Amino acid sequence: MSAARRAEQAFRERFGTAPEGVWAAPGRVNVIGEHTDYNGGYVLPVALASTTRAAVARRDDGLLSLASVQHPDEDLRVEVAGLAPGHPAGWAAYPAGVVHDLRDRAAGGLSILVDGEVPSGAGLSSSAALSCAVALALRDLLAPHLSAADLVDVARRAENDFAGAPTGILDQSAALLCTAGHALFLDTRDRSGAQVPFDLAAAGLALLVIDSGTTHDHAAGGYGDRRRECEAAAARLGVGLLREIDDVAALEPLADGTPEGDVLHRRARHVVTEDARVLEVVGALRGDGDPRAIGPVLTAGHASLRDDFEVSLPLLDGIVEAAVAAGAHGARMVGGGFGGSVIALVEADAADAVTAAVGTRFERAGHPQPRTFVTVPSAGARRLA
Q: Which residues are catalytic?
A: 171
| Whether the bond into 85 is cis, omega within 30 of 0 | no
- What ranges make up the beta strands (E) of the chain? 21-32, 42-58, 63-68, 76-79, 109-116, 182-187, 193-197, 205-211, 330-334, 341-347, 371-375, 382-383
CA–CA distances in Å: residue 161 to residues 2, 47, 84, 90, 215: 34, 24, 10, 14, 22
Q: Reduced to 3 states, what is the DSSP secondary structure of residue 149?
A: helix
Give the integer Cα–Cα distance in Å for 101 and 344. 37
Give the integer Cα–Cα distance in Å for 194 and 146. 21
Q: Which helix (H) or strand (E) holds 355?
A: helix 351-365
Strand-pair category, 42-58 with 76-79: unpaired
